Structure 1
Amino acid sequence: MKLNAQQANSLYGQDVKDRSGSKIGSVGQIWTDSSGEPTWVSVKTGLMGHKESMAPLDKARITDSGLAVDYDKATVKNAPAVDAGTEQPLDTAEIEQLYAHYRLAPQAPPTAGRGRAPSADGDLIRSEERLRVGTESQPAGTARLRKYVVTEDVHTTVPVEHDEVYVEREPIAARDARGMRADIGEAEQEMTLRAERPVVGKETVPVERVHLAKEEVVEEQPVDDQIRRERVDADIPEPSRRRR
């Protein structure tokens, strides 16, 4: 990741998170290479007193919440550390330790070319553009969980009982009539009747636990752009052209 001076200055004191989004600490110092490009950052983890763990800015991303590095929290916390607030440049031994800890291949020194034609004006440098594609985090909306009350009709049935009255008539045989008193006159008989009716009551009970959750989904998005490159053609007289 390439940072300009304004971006690098804005990171001081910002949170540093690992590849999973867990906070590691905050930005302490930023180191640049010989060309002035920021390459390393020190992280105040709060575990080593006056020491700050070093982490590479390669593949790091600037997010809304600070700086996200492409390593897990344990790797960064166990990395070689420097004194808090130091302004001393990293020496060769420190750089070698950092490359070894993060398993990075240090840049190889340029090697001399072979078979170059002598020229008073030096070599002809061919350049081309490279497409640098990265990502940035931005708000994509707000999810809300809202509870509200609705009323709905419920239809059900319940069994109810009630008494029904009917008249039973039983003839009295002559042998059973002996001893019975026979009176002629008015009389009445009462019977208490019972009937059930539906009774409706309500109770509130918990039925479900609901919460919002999120997960990160990685998808491929196409990126189309144009780049320019230079071509070099040689105009060599035929007698001087090398035969292959």
Structure 2
Amino acid sequence: MITREEITMLLDHPVYDGEGHKIGDAKHVFFDDMTGRPEWVSVKTGMFGSNESFIPIHDATLVEDHLEVPYRKDQVKGAPNVDIDAGGHLSASEEHRLYEYYGVNWDNVLSDDGMSGDGGMGTDTTTTDTTAAAGTAGVAGTASVAGTAGYEGTGRRSLRDDDDAMTLSEERMHVGVERRETGRARLRKYVVTEEVQQIVPVRHEEVRVEREPITDANRDAAYAGPEFTEAEHEVTLHEETPVVETEAVAVERVRLTTEEHVDDRTVRGQVRKERIETEGIDLDEDVRRRPGRE
């Protein structure tokens, strides 16, 4: 059983089930108004701690830096939602409903608290100290809450008996990011055939008949043979034709890389804050009485 002295080591620390699964973090501890013993712990569960579940800690154990409870994680997360009154109390009906959900015998709980089975669990409206002993006015009070900071928030009771101040609490939204796959890209190489065209100059030979008159310069060559004879002369013609060859040439290297771009996205959520309201105080008059005010 958890003692009052262990509460400060419990708040804001992890809570695990009997199989070693983390359920959440302990946020508040509720005490019995008559005995002052811890009865319940509230645990933030769900995404970003959006839900608060109640767990009996009568059979819980504080192990090093965390609390172990004999209930499964899914059982705790499925616990019924309960309302806390303005005084930071669980009503008897709400507490009874929670005990029934967890399979805890209501009569055994009353017996362990030193009360008769027919005494009931009424709301204590007289005592203001969570360490009040049995015999304080009223029947056994329902559980009152201790805040995570060790002081009381609005309507909650403080763990310090000599402190009459209220501590205001508020929820802070913590937004994280997760990395997920959005798609895939790949490189695939394949071969295509395309027509190319190029102009290439080519040469060829043609026959041309040249005639020259007999002159003193060529007269001897002209009269060198017989006067009348038969003869023939052959000339070989040539031309150029295009010849096509291909060769594989590396032209570039291609690879896939990724680059990150940062976009701003607005994330909206709901957080709760505690506020103070006063009764029986003239705030305007109080402000006028402050030093430095007329």
TM-score, normalised to structure 2's length?
A: 0.39
TM-score, normalised to structure 1's length?
A: 0.46
Pair member with larger Rg: 2
